[in-house]
Structure 1
């Protein structure tokens, strides 16, 4: 485990904020029954979170990993897919114990869609998307270079936006969410952005904070406007559109510009992955078993705090593997 002294507290704080955003958007998606307009705004303004997690994943990639795409994709898969399998299995098992359907069809297509989208554990789509996106970006960089990779990633992002947020106004109908929210259209541009920001971190240190904040506010307003005028006036926020890229980048650059020092951020930052994995289960308990589903703000606060608290406790209490000294 990386020591707190060697970690960047500002980036760990960004991880914590992004976790809060993910919990918030999942509550907003099914909550705020008494105030749908507020739920829509809260949902929309939380949509920086998943892009930032993609960005942060690539920010720490090494050039040696990028030179070996299969090795990088394998490393990412070994890190995240066992957790994907465990949480997915728990989610399906709980559905079956409650007498519900498993949430996917027992067919080749159904199983493929399960691995692609997370099925009943729908928040897990990020993990296979991360693996696929990592393979795509590393392969493109190896054979075309970073500039062409960025250009291709932007084209893919544009295609995803067209069949996602802009499908109804342009094509007259929508598509299933898994067609555009995945590792092919969604992930690459944010992964490339993480690499670019890492390589230009010295230049970022000179950017004025007020200008970054102004950019953040502008792109947040544009993202919200796209959700209202283009995607539709409905309770659920949209995953991403053209302004989302600038919105997520502005949030990430702001935290990279800040100089937070408190070690508490490192403790919390290291627990965000575990909290992300379990937060939907926590929200289901709060809404279903405890009957708090109509108290959306309370759900957000408790869901975030309990998920992160459980993850911190798990990291603190799990057995440490100690290697015995090797005798000469």
Structure 2
């Protein structure tokens, strides 16, 4: 009998069968997505977002150098605002990647695994907060006593560790998403639920304590807003799309990014600085970049180096403010022309990024990633 003939169906069941044996033939299935697939495009996005944060803080130094006023140095003012407008996708994109990791990419198997993730983010948060406070104490630039700032830092970010505010929102949102994932898988993560309850009620707990003790309670930074949840869940959905855009579709994202970036700069300079993360201009910029990069093929020869740099991204994020405060802010020239301001900004960004990634890679080799990120 020809082996390529079509299967018949049995009269009883109607299921397809082999002509010779009359045994059921399984229905064809779509190819399953690889389990624990390593997403090099996500590595690339982490690197892009980390560098964007560094660019934003370097740009902020230019804006502060002219006291946020154009007449104090128009070239530095516009160089700073244009560069700052280019980085506004970074924080929303970090939420998007967090959503993808918890919901799609690497969902926690149990509460213990989730607590490991929480510690992996929380321990460097407090180590670096202590480092920044000690650094400011040595320079005599703290605006409050160290003890007060240390207590305040338990509940929210403090200067000079101002950039760490993000982790006070990032950690609760991955906790909440993981809690839902674990509940859906049939588990009962009581400890995680109790921690979320504390986060939700912490402002009112402190207010109650203050009422009875006259203690001036610190501002609570733990928690997340609606916008961060939306970025996380939509980002998870878009990152999980199996095919990504075609080459033509990716190019269509570029004009959307340009238009939304112009909108961000307009808002920052003409309406209010800084534009909210929940603004439509920021959302369009974020999701356009996401679709541009998602599922892009990274050449194999670049993958080891990219993964290594992506692993150092959190550490670079943690340390870069040292270099912004000690180097960039000292060297900004508010009186330079357009060419001088543009070249200086790019040079200072490159310097800060190289130094930040350099020291992060160094302590990674020394086995300090757990403590320093």
Q: Same fold (TM over 0.5)?
A: yes
CA shift digits 1:114-153 (9 cap, x unpaired): 6333443111111121111123334566789xxxxxxxxx
Deviation at 1:58, TM superposition (A): 2.8
- Aligned pair partner of 1:117 in 133, 150, 157: 157
1:43 aligned residue: 84
Give, in whole Å, the separation in 2 of the partners of 1:60 and 1:313.
Answer: 26
Residue in 2 aligned with 1:238? 275
Corresponding residue of 2:337: none
Residue of structure 2 equivalent to 1:210: 248
- Give me the TM-score of the superposition, normalised by structure 2: 0.63
Residue by residue over 1:292-314, the C-alpha shift from the partner in whole angstroms, topping out at 9 and shown as x without a partner, is 23343221110011101211222
Paired with 1:319 and 1:75, the residues of 2 have a C-alpha distance of: 16
Q: For 1:199 and 1:286, how far apart are their aligned partners in 2?
A: 40
CA RMSD in angstroms comes to 3.6
The structure with the larger Rg is 2
Matching residue of 1:313: 362
- Residues in 1 aligned to 2:51 and 2:368: alpha-carbon distance in whole angstroms: 28
Question: Which residues in structure 2 correspond to 1:120-269 (within 5 Å)?
Answer: 120-139=160-179, 183-200=224-241, 202-204=242-244, 207-229=245-267, 232-233=269-270, 236-240=273-277, 241-261=279-299, 262=302, 263-269=304-310
| Aligned CA distance change for structure 1 residues 76 and 185 (closer, same or farther; 3 Å) | farther
Contact 1:29–1:235 (CA<8 Å) still a contact in 2?
no
1:85-130 Cα deviation digits (max 9, x unpaired): 011001111111111225589669x945763334431111111211
Q: 1:258 to 1:103 in 2, by over 3 A?
A: farther
Q: Name the CA distance, whole Å, in 2 between partners of 1:77 and 1:184.
A: 19
Cα displacement (A) at 1:283 = 1.8
How has the CA–CA distance of structure 1 residues 203 and 258 changed in structure 2, closer, same or farther, with 3 Å as cutoff?
closer
C-alpha contact (below 8 Å) 1:104/1:120 kept by paired residues = no
- In 2: Cα distance, 1:221 partner to 1:254 partner: 15
- Quote the offset at 1:37 in angstroms: 1.8
Shift of 1:67: 8.2
What 5-or-longer segments of structure 2 have no aligned partner?
A: 1-36, 67-72, 185-218, 334-343
Unpaired runs of 5+ residues, structure 1, are: 1-5, 145-177, 322-328
TM-score by length of 1: 0.71
Matches within 5 A, 1:18-57: 18-31=49-62, 33=66, 34=73, 35=75, 36-57=77-98
Equivalence for 1:292: 331
Q: Using the alignment, how far apart are the partners of 2:291 and 2:347 within structure 1? A: 30
| CA separation of 1:104 and 1:211: change in aligned 2, threshold 3 A | farther
Secondary structure class of the residue paired with 1:101: coil
Query: Deviation digits for residues 146-182 of structure 1, max 9, x if unmatched?
Result: xxxxxxxxxxxxxxxxxxxxxxxxxxxxxxxx99996
- C-alpha separation between the residues in 1 aligned to 2:363 and 2:272? 35
Equivalent position of 2:122 in the other structure? 81
Q: Is the 8 A contact 2:253 2:291 kept in 1?
A: no
